[in-house]
Structure 1
Amino acid sequence: MIAMHKVRVGVSLAALVACCGIMSGCMSSPTYGTGKTSGEQLFDDITDIASISAMTPKDKGVTYPARPGLVVPGANDRENLAQPQQSLASKDNPQWVESPEDARKRLADEAEENKHNVNYRSPLAAADSGRNRVSDAEQTAAYRAARQDQQGTYNERRYLVDPPQAYRQVSDPAALNDLGTPESKKEKKRKKDAEAAQQSSTWWKPWQ
């Protein structure tokens, strides 16, 4: 420690001499509003780094108390310690919500156990019973209603994209029932026109 102290004193004196030489040429240097020239500021920085009073410990007079020991139960109470609390987030908890997969598995196992019991009615079978089925007439009515919604043939306006009822009326209702010329008549007329065109083009070209 003494050798280190001597080294620091030597460095401080050398820095002091160097700073004095620098300050002799920088006395007229600007202060830039700090009140100190660049040489003075350099001298202050060097003296702060190599302080002569570094031998004094910084923690002088500070007392560090010992860490207290652990609090342990007595020898007679170690057998009667409280058990840690069980986690409530467990399937063993009666208030735990049953998942649909677990419920279906439980009902399937219950139905398997009571397969010879004639008085047992499984909820799975009740869900697929005929009470939830619709008749043929109801299915037909639902199909027609769905087709009307798909084709837009309902009377009242249901959606914003539907045009007003006044715009959905045709000027000539008879045009809705006009199916046009059948395809069979169109085919006969096409063949007849083709034969007529062929006959009219061969009277002046006998070699064809």
Structure 2
Amino acid sequence: MMHRISHSIRLFFKALHRKAWQSEHGSISVETVIILPVVAWALMASFTFTDAFRHQTTLQKSVYTAADLVSRASGTALTPEYLNGVYSFMLRINDTPLDVHLRITLIGWDNAEEEYRVIWSYADQGNTATVLDDTVLNAAYGAQIPKISVGETLLLTEGLLKYEPPFRVGLQARDLTETALTRPRFAPGITFLDPNAPPPPEAWCEFVVDACGM
């Protein structure tokens, strides 16, 4: 008798197990719970990487625009106020609450020392980086700058954006940078009237046309 009851119980639970295994009730909820985090991560990752790319391309456009504006001013003497205005214009192009910085440097070639020289350098007031000097110029950019002859100058324009991703999906906070090299449009050099700048190096007269008068 007990054996028959035990056998009936086993058959009952086996049938219940088979029915539960074959049942599809609630499967959509389970699949949603499993797949939703993956879909959410994919959406956030797509938004984050697209946002980073947008900031990078906008920064590039603003740097090239700033370089073009300054290079076309080679017929007149620049003032700190003018370059501050260029920086403000750059901020409007980027249109972001993130920190954006600008550094513009006019460089020449010293034939005697066979290295580049900083003629003048400007950095926005909020920039933690100092203005460029000869040591950093040759160490960081010496291999990238095309050769120029004595008397020529190049305008080195640098942009930096401290990017903060909206979501943590594998992309960490980083500095986005862009660099543009342009030649002065209408004169060998560009004069920068900065009352706070240190006196120009004596070597100017040796490698830049009319440098002592700039």
TM-score range, shorter chain: under 0.3
Higher strand share: 2
Higher helix share: 1
TM-score by length of 2: 0.21
TM-score by length of 1: 0.21
Higher relative contact order (CA 8 A, sep 6+): 2
